[in-house]
Amino acid sequence: SNISLMLVFREMELQHLSSLLIIESIRKPKDTMLQGLQAVKEYYDAEIKTIEEQLENAEKHIKQEEERAEMLEGVAKDLLNTDIKYLVSSETTILTHVFVEHAYEECIASGDTDMTTIETLQALKLLYEDLMIKLDSMPFDIVKEAEAAVQTKNAIALEKAHQARRQVALLDNLSKSMKRALDKPFVRHGRPLMWRSKPPSPKHRIKYVSRQYSPRELEYLIHFTDYCPYEDEEAVNLFFPLGT
């Protein structure tokens, strides 16, 4: 039985040693695996941190771009409502376009055209340069006579325009006067105005009547004082010596 017991313990010892060997053989791959897991964890933590930083930077850039877009939109609206609107639809722009179109129709061709204002100005510029070249080749006397004739014609046209303007103004004033004359007179309707309290009586100026003075007193007042017949009697008495 002792031998059997020793064999059992020996068998158990061998199994224990075998288990230790197996554990030792497994520990190294386990450590390698744990190190690999730690490295992978650190790598992915770094990647996640990098991605978070990139997302924060992207959010900042997006916010900046949105603010810039709002600012540019406001600037565009301001330009549309001020400068661009003035350049496109102002009275000066419309008058300039009409003037250029009229000059083009008078000098080059009449009728509707699909040319823009810039293209029309370019055509007028070319025509002007061609006319100036021809004008330089003409005699000076002919040019001077033509210039005087054009100035006279322009002066007559300008005077007619002024007369027409004055006539329009007179007609406008006449129309307004006739309208005022034909309008019904204004009549106040409603309750009459009522005084809240009795109006104060007007103050009457007191007239001072000079008393009758003797010839001696009157002579004294006239020659030796600044006597006025409309002064108060008390004021006149001051001119007399005491006891008079």
Q: Reply yes or no on whether the pLDDT at 64 is more than 60.
A: yes
16 shares its domain with 63:
yes
Q: Which of 163, 180, 197 is the last residue of a domain?
A: 180
Amino acid in position 63: K
**Of 12-26, 89-103, 194-208, where does the model show the most confidence?**
89-103
Confidence of residue 84 (pLDDT cuts 50, 70, 90): confident
Residues in the chain: 244
In a domain, 169, yes or no: yes
Q: Reply yes or no on whether the pLDDT at 242 is more than 50.
A: no
> How many angstroms separate the CA atoms of 239 and 42, rounded?
125
In a domain, 196, yes or no: no
In a domain, 60, yes or no: yes
Q: Which of 21, 52, 67 is the last residue of a domain?
A: 67
What is the reported pLDDT for 237? Answer: 58
**Interval 11-36 mean pLDDT:** 80
Burial class (CB in 10 A: 0-12, 13-18, 19+), 151: exposed
**Interval 42-48 mean pLDDT:** 91
**Domain carrying residue 36:** 12-67
Taken in order 6, 10, 15, 19, is the CA torsion positive or negative?
positive
**Interval 103-121 mean pLDDT:** 78
Measured distance between the N- and C-terminal CA atoms of the chain, rounded to whole angstroms: 182
Tokens describing residue 158: 């300008």
**Interval 190-216 mean pLDDT:** 66
H or E element in which residue 137 lies: none
Alpha helices (H) along the chain:
2-81, 83-89, 91-107, 117-136, 140-182, 215-224, 233-237
Overall number of domains in the chain: 3
Any idea which of 57-71, 133-147, 203-217 has the lowest mean pLDDT?
A: 203-217
Confidence of residue 88 (pLDDT cuts 50, 70, 90): confident
**Which tens digit of pLDDT belongs to each residue from 115-134?**
788 888 888 898 888 888 88
What is the reported pLDDT for 76? Answer: 86
In a domain, 237, yes or no: yes
In a domain, 92, yes or no: no
Interhelix angle 91-107/117-136, nearest 10 degrees: 50
In a domain, 163, yes or no: yes
Which residue's entry shows tokens 């017949």? 229
In a domain, 93, yes or no: no
In a domain, 18, yes or no: yes
Percent of the chain whose predicted confidence (pLDDT) is above 90: 14
Mean confidence (pLDDT) of the chain:
80
Percent of the chain whose predicted confidence (pLDDT) is above 70: 78
Tokens describing residue 155: 């002066």
Give CA separation, 53 vs 58, 63, 102, in Å.
Answer: 8, 15, 65
